[in-house]
Amino acid sequence: MEHQTTHHTEHQVAHGEHHDMGSTNAMAISATLHCLTGCAIGEILGLMIGTALGLGNLATIAIAVGLAFLFGYALSTLPLLRAGLGLGAALSVVLAADTLSIATMELVDNLVMAAIPGAMEAGLVNPVFWLSMMLALTVAFFAAWPVNRYLLARGKGHALTHEFHGAEPEGARRFIPDLATSTLVAAIVAFMLGGLVVSIADELEAPPETSHAAATR
């Protein structure tokens, strides 16, 4: 009887640990996707600005990184403001929760973009740009996921913001946008696929000599 009780207790502990691990993994995926949306918006916008202005790689990367942090922090701050926190308190929570994750994403994302030949100079109507960006963001996601999981398992990172989620907003705070991560991810994916389709269509419509010149640049 004692053996059965011990075995049952061990099974409960193992099941609890498995459940906690699964919950932590799911939370880490959600947190990483949340950070990735802000980073993606900033990265794409920054590279578009740099390309449009004809800036060099370093200047373009600097703008993209700055905007990635800006949008990443902004998207995490809105739910906290909606939940009732003041701007200063919300920013302090977000800075502690998101900085390491965003920094990891930005480092990996820009290293991948810089490593792909011609990706930074491809231009917005070149499939190379959009395919490279998709690859870079995917690699950045898998690089940042273990970082977020490590932080969540220790009650840090996005764990700091979870207690404020789901709170009922009051007064004017009800008008602060409540942007679901899934909605943002879908919008970004649709935008990037749209850019890829447009760039492919442009390549197909370009005269052969123009396409050859673009390929040899």
Q: DSSP string covering 143-188, please?
A: HHHHHHHHHHHTT-TTHHHHTTTTPPP-GGGGGS----HHHHHHHH
- How confident is the model over 184-200, as a mean pLDDT? 93
> Is 170 inside any structural domain?
no
- How confident is the model over 166-183, as a mean pLDDT? 77
- Cα-flanking dihedrals φ and ψ of residue 216, to 5°? -95, 0
Question: Using one digit for the tens of pLDDT, what is the confidence trace for 65-116?
Answer: 999 999 999 988 988 888 888 899 889 989 988 999 999 999 999 899 889 9
> Is 181 inside any structural domain?
yes
> Is 11 inside any structural domain?
no
Question: Using one digit for the tens of pLDDT, what is the confidence trace for 61-77?
Answer: 899 999 999 999 998 89
Mean pLDDT estimate for the chain = 81
- Half-sphere exposure in the Cβ direction for 60 (13 Å, CA): 22
Tokens at residue 148, please? Answer: 């977020």
> Is 10 inside any structural domain?
no
> Is 65 inside any structural domain?
yes
Nearest 5°: the CA angle 66, 67, 69 is 70
> Is 5 inside any structural domain?
no
User: Which residues constitute the domain of residue 210?
Assistant: 20-164+175-216
> What does the alpha-carbon distance between residue 143 and residue 149 come to, in Å, rounded to a whole number?
11
pTM: 0.78
Domain count, the chain: 1
> Is 144 inside any structural domain?
yes
